[in-house]
Chains A and B, each alone.
Chain A
Amino acid sequence: MSTSTRAPDLPLGLGDVDAVRAVALGGIALLVSAYGSVFYHFIDVTGEPALFLVVAAVTLAAATTLSSSLRLRWAAVTAVGLLAVGLTLYVLSLPRQPPVAPLVTDAIALMTGRSLLQVTNVDLWVLGVSPGPLFLTWYLGMRRRYVASVLAGGGALGFLVLTTDASNVTTLLGVVGGIVAVAVGDMDRRGDSIAAAEPLAVLLALLIVLSAFAPVVPAGPSRTADTWSSFQTGGLGGSADTVEANLVNADNQVGIAGNLSLSPDVRFRVRSDSSDYWQVGAFDRYTGDGWVRTGSRRSYDGQLDDPPGRSRTVSQTYTAVEDLRVLPAAWKPVSVGASVSDRAQVTDLDGLEVDGTVSSGEAFSVTSSVPVASAEELREAGTDYPSEVEDRHTRLPSSTPDRVAERTERITANAETPYDTARVVERWLENNKEYSLDVQRPRGNVADEFLFEMDAGYCTYFATAMVVMLRSQDIPARMAVGYTSGERVAEDEWVVRGYNAHAWVEAYFPEVGWVRFDPTPADLRRAAEQEQLSEARENNRTDVDVNDTGGPEWTPSPTATPAPLTPREDQPAQEAPGQQTIPDRITRPGGTPVSDGDPENPSVITAPANGSGASDGSGGDSSGPFDRRPPTREEATLGAIVVLGLVVGLRRTGLTGRAYRAVWLRYQPTKDPETDAERAFERLESVLAERHRPRRPGETPRQYLASIGADERAAQVATIRERARYAGRVTREEADEAVSLVDDIVGWRGA
């Protein structure tokens, strides 16, 4: 239905109708931009945003143009066709042509909480998929089929909610847009005036405010408890962890995710040929505010590939002290023992995961081929990266500020090889940023913020920044998480605690493989975290020690020290006797550091929402929807709707009007005598209207005063005003007299 088919309205009413329609379409636009922004985010992370914007603009323009000519049925066919063509193109673009069944299971997996960012070639996916819903939503909106339009748009948004890619704020924004579109659209079809939408504005404000505060209400762990803006990914900690988590984290409902930061609890023991970092996962896709692993995982079916270059075999035997949901392994794992091989999964990045848990007391073995390369070899490795590795690991969101690359360029001006570049960046981060657990999660690009706006951070920040810096120089790099080696209790045995959780960097060198770098300054970290263990021991906690820890440290003989991979003095792998490795933690989405064991689905991590999670976990800041950071666009939009609703609500209750009137009635600034006399009379009229009745339109002041039997003071005011108004002749004294008479009449009883 276009405007021309509607019954012609009076010229006066037309403005109202258009306003209603504009608001209804605004609701649709809000909904479209809600899921459009998620699409845009995908594209921003992986591809060319400009292309997406062009596609979206063309789609919307086509929908607008066709809305008047294309019939509904054909529009639906068009939308479905667009979707089908887009998906087909996407599937054809995949490097390996997957059979149909896994595609379907993947699609279902997506809807059970896997981020779309894990999808390979997500940019093509978005370009293929987005035009369909965009077209349909906007077309229906333009056709005044608001409900259908909201269903279409809501479907798209709902899918993104299921894939956990739409944040709470985005979702709320879309929901608000949908409600506005349906409700106001209904008014549009009925031809109501926009004033009828006032209750709606109040309700929306209420809805937003309630949803903002609902997470604060202790109702168990909830993903909505995340800060509004943080990227919502991943699941919660397993049930085995939440009890402890809730106990310690009771003050803070934000992002409960298993066992705690800096927990001195022992997670597992490992017997190994050599000390190493026990990696549990790696991430290739940087989203600007977090990390995602792309690709799907497959079941472990025997020996994995060795790294491309020289390597030495390291056999490890892990014994779970608590239930484990991960399979730690020194990089690069090539095989796992029979006890877990049926449960083991291999990620697209060749890491190991476990389907289920490794129960407390259970033991399993892992064999790794650890790349061996001297600094010289790494320097000479060159830049002849396999294209698959390069494509996947040098990509940065296009929204990454240029200054990151510029700063890196400057720092590494003298470095001639990727290896030198990596070392310089590593050292620069170590020397220029402080280690601190107490940081405010930055808004925007984490790496950029850490480099330019923050003085301190912890492992996740250091590792993220370094990966981004390396990628800005076209060096393939990725983020790895896992555990540092732990407390060495025997020549070939280490005890790994919760606080050993760590995040580091792996860079790729041709003919060598992934090589570890750790930009986090170790000394400060150890000092901070050593306290945890001591405290726990002083408190006579029994779970922080196993029978052979805590005693005199095992002193390694010089030969027992494994050759460091990236040789350097303070490498945590080379701890001096008497020192404990108390590394950082890796962090879970939502800002609570994750500990060992818990990432049952660690394929996505985000930069921590805040680093305040000291051992008490309460942190005390940024737990609610409102923290001290400037609001995002979404939050600002929602805030504006809230304010609008409040204003409308107040107006409807008449509070603002009454408050204004009370002041207006009593306070009269002095201007020229005519104005003063006029204003005095207005005040008089106003107060008389309240006490008797308002003056009727055709009633002259004299008739009015006579009719209500007003007293002489009122008559005098009216006379003065009459002279001021109709004779244009009033003196200052008369005006003042009128004002003071009215002051007298109004008193404090007025209104």
Chain B
Amino acid sequence: MTDTDTPVSGHQESTVEDVDDTQAVVSRVVDNVETVIVGHHREVEHILTALLGRGHILLEDVPGVGKTMLARAIAESFEGSFKRVQFTPDLLPSDVTGVNVFNQKTEVFEFRPGPVFANVVLGDEINRAPPKTQSALLEAMEETQVTVDGESHDLPEPFTVIATQNTVERDRTYELPMAELDRFMKKLHLGYPDTDQETEMLDRVVDHHPIDDLDSVATLEDLRAARETTAVVTAEESVREYVTRLAQFTRRHAELGVSPRGGLAVLRAAQGRAVLEGRDYVIPDDVQTEAQVVFPHRVRTSTDETTPRAVVENALESVRVE
């Protein structure tokens, strides 16, 4: 299943009950995650709406603010499989995708799946791996399947990648190209917690880290059903037009603007946002909230006077909400 071949709203109507059920699941997950993660409520919600909208997430920040912890907490809240890959400069593509090994007993090659075969994959410090290895993961995200020695292997469903990226060590890193950044639905920044939150975090983890006690609160089936409900959330024409005009605005005001794929991504995220708030229809508010994290990493500016974030902010202020 790819980002582009799924209709935004299908013919089957999501019922209000479905939405309520999904909302309940999502709330449980959020509550569960927040037993571990202090603060960052907004980012937690963003990750969940991305999950609902079948997107992958890129967390970017300085080391030590809890990127990995957050990803883990979310992954552990579902009862599916969770794998973590630490990207390093010497990591090979097959270390991610898996490899065919010759079984001497049976005298046939057997596929040994790599860490990408999991429901939630945490790719730590993705920008430290060489491009070839990066693209192995990104291809898997795009195709939801892995091809090794000409043989295709389907990834499990649901499949979500949460990647992190370090912004401190600029040398010996391989910046993700724009085309590949585009595959991530959202790029989130965590930022430092405020004083109270930081203190509380220390209190919680000083002797025993709660992540070790975290239980799953939702089944994979819950997640699948939630995604189905989300996919059929109504996005009326006026909302779709609004998304289009936002994307077009960024194209007019930046060197590289939001692509149609970006528009589709924000609409999916907005559907997830609508479910999160218990609605079975998207309103412009959903689009605005999601656009702030869906759009900026898809925009490139050529001058120093403006930043991608500023362009997106400008679009949100200027494009009329009908």
**Footprint of B on A, CB under 8 Å?**
695-703, 722-723, 725-729
Contact = CB atoms under 8 A, between A and B. Distances in A.
Contacts of B280: 727
B320 A700 contact: no
B288 A697 contact: no
Contacts of A727: 234, 236, 279-281
Contacts, number: 46
A608 to B, nearest CB: 66
A698 B288 CA distance: 9
B185 to A, nearest CB: 22
Nearest to B249: A698
A416 B315 CA distance: 94
B281 A698 contact: no
Nearest to B280: A727
Given A726-B239, A726-B281, A727-B281, A698 B316 contact: yes
Given A697-B321, A701-B321, 10 more contacts: A695-B321, A697-B317, A698-B288, A698-B315, A698-B318, A700-B321, A725-B238, A726-B282, A726-B284, A729-B281
Nearest to A698: B317
Contacts of A703: 285
Interface in B204-257: 234, 236, 238-239
A697 B236 contact: no
A61 B320 CA distance: 50
A219 B321 CA distance: 62
- Classify chain B's interface size: 10 to 19
A700 B242 CA distance: 11
Contact of B288 (A695, A700, A725, A728): A700
Contact of A698 (B236, B238, B282, B321): B321
Nearest to A729: B281
Interface string B303-320: 000000000000111111
Nearest to B315: A698
Contacts of B275: none
A698 B234 contact: no
A387 to B, nearest CB: 81
Given A700-B288, A723-B281, A728 B236 contact: yes
B283 interface: yes
A727 B319 CA distance: 21
A703 B318 CA distance: 15
A702 B234 CA distance: 19
Interface in B137-169: none
A10 to B, nearest CB: 15
B14 to A, nearest CB: 11
Given A725-B238, A727-B234, A728-B236, A700 B284 contact: yes
Contacts of A722: 283
A512 B264 CA distance: 105
B13 to A, nearest CB: 10
A698 B285 contact: no
Contacts of B318: 697-698
Q: Which 8 A-B pairs have the closest CB atoms?
A: A727-B281, A698-B317, A697-B320, A700-B284, A700-B285, A726-B281, A726-B283, A700-B321
Given A726-B283, A727-B281, A698 B320 contact: yes
A726 B319 contact: no
Nearest to B320: A697
Nearest to B239: A726
A698 B319 contact: yes
Contacts of B236: 725-728
A727 B315 CA distance: 24
A709 B281 CA distance: 25
A142 B146 CA distance: 74
A529 to B, nearest CB: 79
Contacts of B282: 726
Nearest to B313: A698
Given A723-B281, A726-B281, A726-B283, A699 B238 contact: no
Contacts of B284: 700, 726
A283 B86 CA distance: 117
Nearest to B281: A727
Contacts of A697: 317-321
> In this complex, which of B280, B284, B288, B317 has the most chain A Cβ atoms within 10 angstroms of its Cβ?
B284
Contacts of A698: 288, 315-321
A729 B279 CA distance: 12
Nearest to B274: A726
A699 B284 CA distance: 9
Nearest to A728: B236
12 contacts: A698-B315, A698-B320, A701-B321, A702-B285, A722-B283, A723-B281, A726-B234, A726-B236, A726-B238, A726-B283, A727-B280, A728-B234
> In this complex, which of B239, B280, B281, B317 has the most chain A Cβ atoms within 10 angstroms of its Cβ?
B281
Contact of A700 (B234, B281, B283): B283
B270 to A, nearest CB: 11
B267 to A, nearest CB: 13
Contacts of B239: 726
Contacts of A726: 234, 236, 238-239, 281-284
Nearest to A727: B281
B15 to A, nearest CB: 12
A700 B280 CA distance: 18
A695 B238 CA distance: 18
Contacts of B316: 698
B69 to A, nearest CB: 33
A386 B280 CA distance: 102
A702 B273 CA distance: 15
A701 B238 CA distance: 14
Contact of A699 (B234, B283, B315, B321): B321
Nearest to A696: B317
A698 B283 CA distance: 13
Contacts of B320: 697-698
A275 B321 CA distance: 96
B236 to A, nearest CB: 5
A701 B317 CA distance: 13
Contacts of B317: 696-698
A91 to B, nearest CB: 71
B278 to A, nearest CB: 13
Nearest to A722: B283
Interface in B274-306: 279-285, 288
A205 B316 CA distance: 46
A8 to B, nearest CB: 22
A697 B321 CA distance: 6
A697 B249 CA distance: 13
A77 B236 CA distance: 70
A509 to B, nearest CB: 87
B48 to A, nearest CB: 21
Contacts of B238: 725-726
B265 to A, nearest CB: 19
> In this complex, which of A695, A702, A725, A726 has the most chain B Cβ atoms within 10 angstroms of its Cβ?
A726
A698 B246 CA distance: 10
A698 B285 CA distance: 10
Interface string B84-102: 0000000000000000000
B34 to A, nearest CB: 25
A723 B239 CA distance: 12
B16 to A, nearest CB: 10
Interface in B72-128: none
Contacts of A702: 283, 285
A59 to B, nearest CB: 51
Contacts of B281: 723, 726-729
Interface in B39-59: none
A729 B283 CA distance: 13
A698 to B, nearest CB: 4
A71 B316 CA distance: 56
Contacts of B319: 697-698
A722 B239 CA distance: 11
Nearest to A704: B321
A727 B282 CA distance: 8
A365 B147 CA distance: 134
A584 B284 CA distance: 86
